[in-house]
């Protein structure tokens, strides 16, 4: 039966009754964006009226926007850090939220080198679940027949710790996959995964990935979409297949399980899946043995209609590689979210990556927008409401959440591309202050500077210093890695720092970088060893000459601390005199350093 006869959405005819309800919800929220926002703010302020934080501002139960805006300041994580630390240490009084803090979500954004801790409350899980429930109804408008097969999604949990006060601290997706919302989700023919829960929930990343890949290969004909949260995750899975296809095809040929998979829950569930399938094993092995992996995704999973991965923001660097492995399949970016709050979804998920816009759902939190850019004078930097943003303008996202963040700067820069009903749609421009990123790591200029300073201390005994440096995120290899270009001043040429010393510099730099970087290196294996390329003396002067020849002002010229422009990289590479890699992994444990 066609459900468009029951309910037709302006977005398109829904695929089933459940979808119809979801699309109707999107209509209601977006048609009344401003009114919903007003209610959300009143609800949050009512709910949290008795918190220590809000009481500071003497709101006295007032919940209107004007008062809120006039008395509550805009803040950053660092402003809240002392309060968050008290919650982490076990203070259970209502500090930020009237509802008990259920756990901390650890963001990939860092503060003083450690993941930011975002306090959250139980009911937020329902809100996140609600946003997830809207994704397939929208996708079904654009891709038909997704109930006729499965999704191969590479999903992982990461390690969790406890704060001194006993609260769990873990990434938001780990929290979600471990929740009953995910584990006991009702059967939905449009949302069936090849990966068993046991594999997704296994904390050992090798066993988890191995099992998810094995299941995906067994069901290669049924797979209709292939995905991971971020593009880097999907490429990590392809790399895993490159390294492990002989063992995987052995298991498929014999119907046995690699002895490295020792998790009892996985072993038990895989006993139902494993069966000898020599024809499938031969086919996969033949394809994987080929030098050329162009289009491997559609070769192995021939019915794949699209890749479901985020390729906006820092992940855009992976688009050409994904196109290569998939033969140009559509790339669907479905949602925009963070540890602080889930924001919204893409209502036209099959649009090209460069044209992706996310519609912020006004029920998720109270959203404000700080005008951003050269023309936004201090005077004009008044926070703007969701319904009042202007097309073409850029803003920094500021949120007030049910969990107790008030006028909190997320650090994302968004550009308004249009409106759906009265809800604005945003292009994700970039995250502020991020210089280098390979996976979920985000390294800023100050962190890089500190790392160079620490590493160059080793050079002192060689009477050598780093006179200039720049960097780039090399994603030509999987996993990608950080590359540093160093120009050295060697005062005693008879005592030039040798390979051992310079590779040690790579490791010291890695040790100095933030915990998300080090976790990616150590636990996720999603970043390769840091590389230093020593360039000839005078190279950075040439770089300046080049910039000036292209119109840079000689007075204002500053060495870029990160380069992406190909001719500049070619210039630097042509002046390289030696190359050094980090000889071992930096230190990382789930425990925080402070
Ligand atoms: P985290 O707090 O670690 O979950 O990271 C959240 C951040 O990831 C956001 O604030 C964005 O900077 C980035 N992010 C999340 N979703 C997207 C998306 N769809 N496109 C681009 N960047 C995203």
| pLDDT tens, position by position, 551-593 | 989 889 999 999 999 999 999 999 999 999 999 999 999 998 7
Burial environment of residue 216 by CB neighbours within 10 A (0 to 12, 13 to 18, 19 or more): buried
pLDDT reported for residue 375? 67
Minimum-distance ligand 1 atom for the alpha carbon of 335: 19
Q: What are 338's two structure tokens?
A: 């963070």
Q: What is the DSSP letter of 477?
A: S
The residues facing 367 across adjacent strands are: 399
pLDDT in tens, 477-516: 899 999 999 999 999 989 899 999 999 999 999 999 999 9
Q: What is the pLDDT of residues 64-89, one digit of tens each?
A: 999 999 999 999 999 999 999 999 99
| Cα 440 to ligand 1 centre (Å) | 9
Least confident of 6-15, 71-80, 423-432: 6-15
Which ligand 1 atom lies nearest to the CA of residue 346?
19
Q: How far is the CA of 516 from the centre of ligand 1 (A)?
A: 14
Statement: residue 1 has pLDDT above 80: no
The protein residue whose alpha carbon is closest to atom 19 in ligand 1 is: 336
pLDDT digits (tens, 9 = 90+) for 320-365: 999 999 999 999 999 999 999 999 999 999 999 999 999 999 999 9
pLDDT surpasses 70 at 6: no
Provide the pairing of β-strand 306-310 with 223-230: parallel
Q: Is the pLDDT of residue 530 over 70?
A: yes
CA of 385 to the centre of ligand 1 (A): 21
Task: Note whether 507 and 584 are within 8 A (CB).
Answer: yes
Backbone angles phi, psi at 63, to 5 degrees: -125, 10
Contact 116, 70 (CB under 8 A): no
- Select from 351, 396, 428, 517 the residue to mutate for testing ligand 1; criterion: most ligand atoms less than 8 Å from CB: 428
Tally of CB atoms within 10 A around 163: 19
Per-chain mean pLDDT for the chain: 96
- The residue written with tokens 């990123």 in the block is 437
Mean pLDDT of 430-443: 96
SS3 state of residue 485: strand
| Ligand 1 centre distance from Cα of residue 336 (Å) | 6
Of residues 284, 281, 221, 219, the one with CA closest to residue 254:
281
Whether 379 shows a pLDDT value over 60: the answer reads no
What CA–CA distance (Å, rounded) separates 245 from 282? 11
Query: 562 C-alpha vs ligand 1 centroid, how far in Å?
Result: 21
478 Cβ contact list (under 8 Å, min separation 6): 235, 236, 238, 239, 321
> For 217-227, what is each residue's pLDDT tens digit?
999 999 999 99
Radius of gyration of the chain (CA): 25
Residue among 472, 489, 591 nearest 532 (CA): 472
**CA 224 from centre of chain:** 24
Ligand 1: residue of 315, 332, 337 to mutate (most ligand atoms within 8 A of CB) is 337
Predicted local distance difference test score (pLDDT) of residue 302: 98
Per-residue tokens: 451? 């790392």
Distance in Å from the first CA to the final CA of the chain: 59
Pocket test for ligand 1, best of 77, 119, 315, 338 (most atoms within 8 A of CB): 338
Nearest CA to ligand 1 atom 9: 338
Is the pLDDT at 518 greater than 90, yes or no? yes
Give the confidence band of 7 by pLDDT, cuts at 50, 70, 90: low
Pocket test for ligand 1, best of 319, 361, 431, 524 (most atoms within 8 A of CB): 431
Give residue 264's pLDDT.
Answer: 98
pLDDT of residue 378: 60
CA of 345 to the centre of ligand 1 (A): 12
pLDDT at residue 4 tops 70? no
Ligand 1 centre to CA of 72 (Å) is: 25
Residue 148: C-alpha distances to residues 189, 192, 216, 224, 452 (Å): 8, 10, 16, 8, 53
The whole-number pLDDT of residue 593 equals 75
Contact partners, residue 291, CB within 8 Å, separation at least 6: none
Q: Which helix (H) or strand (E) holds 559?
A: none
- Does residue 278 have a pLDDT over 80? yes
Q: At what angle do helices 566-574 and 539-549 cross, to 10 degrees?
A: 150
**Gap between the Cα atoms of 267 and 198, Å rounded:** 9
Nearest to 145 by CA among 304, 359, 383: 304
Cα–Cα distances in Å, from 226 out to 190, 299, 417, 438, 479?
14, 13, 28, 21, 19
Atom of ligand 1 at shortest distance to CA of 333? 19
Q: How would you classify the pairing of strands 306-310 and 331-332?
A: parallel
37, pLDDT greater than 80: yes
Ligand 1 binding site (Cβ under 6 Å of any ligand atom): 107-109, 172, 310, 312-313, 333, 336-339, 410, 412, 428, 431, 440
């Amino acid at each position: 039966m066609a459900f468009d006869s029951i309910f037709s959405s302006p977005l398109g005819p829904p695929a089933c009754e459940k979808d119809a309800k979801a699309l109707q919800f999107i209509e209601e929220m977006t048609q009344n964006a401003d009114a919903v926002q007003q209610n959300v703010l009143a609800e949050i302020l009512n709910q949290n009226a008795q918190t220590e934080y809000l009481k500071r501002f003497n709101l006295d139960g007032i919940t209107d926007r004007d008062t809120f805006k006039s008395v509550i300041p805009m803040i950053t994580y660092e402003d809240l850090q002392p309060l968050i630390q008290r919650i982490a240490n076990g203070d259970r009084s209502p500090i930020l939220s009237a509802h008990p803090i259920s756990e901390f979500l650890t963001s990939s954004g860092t503060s003083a080198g450690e993941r930011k801790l975002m306090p959250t409350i139980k009911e937020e899980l329902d809100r996140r679940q609600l946003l997830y429930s809207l994704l397939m109804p929208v996708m079904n408008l654009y891709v038909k027949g997704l109930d006729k097969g499965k999704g191969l999604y590479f999903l992982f949990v990461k390690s969790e710790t406890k704060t001194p006060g006993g609260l769990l601290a873990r990434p938001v997706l780990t929290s979600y996959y471990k929740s009953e919302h995910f584990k006991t989700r009702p059967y939905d023919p449009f949302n069936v995964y090849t990966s068993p829960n046991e594999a997704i929930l296994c904390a050992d990343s090798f066993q988890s990935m191995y099992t998810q890949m094995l299941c995906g290969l067994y069901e290669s004909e049924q797979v209709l979409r292939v995905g991971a949260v971020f593009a880097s995750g999907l490429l990590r899975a392809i790399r895993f297949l490159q390294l492990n296809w002989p063992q995987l095809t052995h298991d498929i040929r014999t119907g046995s399980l690699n002895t490295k998979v020792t998790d009892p829950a996985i072993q038990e569930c895989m006993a139902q899946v494993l069966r000898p399938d020599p024809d499938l094993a031969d086919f996969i092995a033949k394809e994987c043995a080929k030098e050329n992996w162009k289009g491997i995704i559609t070769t192995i999973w021939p019915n794949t209609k699209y890749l479901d991965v985020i390729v906006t923001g820092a992940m855009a660097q992976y688009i050409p590689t994904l196109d290569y492995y998939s033969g140009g399949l559509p790339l669907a970016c479905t949602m925009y979210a963070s540890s602080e709050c889930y924001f919204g979804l893409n209502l036209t998920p099959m649009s090209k990556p460069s044209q992706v816009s996310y519609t912020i759902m006004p029920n998720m939190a109270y959203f404000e927008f700080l005008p951003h850019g050269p023309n936004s004078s201090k005077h004009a930097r008044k926070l703007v409401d969701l319904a009042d943003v202007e097309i073409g303008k850029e803003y920094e996202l500021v949120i007030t959440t049910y969990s107790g963040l008030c006028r909190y700067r997320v650090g994302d820069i968004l550009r308004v591309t249009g409106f759906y009903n009265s809800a604005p749609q945003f292009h994700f421009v970039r995250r502020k202050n991020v210089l280098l990123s390979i996976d979920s790591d985000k390294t800023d200029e100050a962190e890089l500077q500190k790392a160079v300073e620490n590493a160059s201390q080793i050079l002192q005994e060689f009477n050598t210093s780093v006179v200039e440096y720049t960097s780039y995120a090399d994603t030509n290899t999987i996993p990608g890695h950080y590359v540093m270009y160093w120009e050295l001043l060697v005062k005693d040429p008879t005592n030039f720092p040798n390979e051992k010393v310079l590779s040690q510099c790579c490791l010291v730099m890695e040790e100095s970088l933030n915990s998300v970087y080090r976790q990616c290196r150590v636990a996720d294996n999603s970043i390769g060893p840091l590389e230093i390329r020593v360039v000839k003396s005078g190279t950075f002067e040439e770089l300046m000459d080049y910039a000036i020849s292209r119109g840079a002002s000689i007075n204002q010229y500053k060495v870029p601390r990160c380069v992406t422009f190909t001719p500049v990289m070619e210039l630097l590479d042509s002046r390289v005199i030696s190359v050094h890699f980090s000889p071992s992994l930096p230190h990382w444990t789930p425990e925080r350093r402070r």
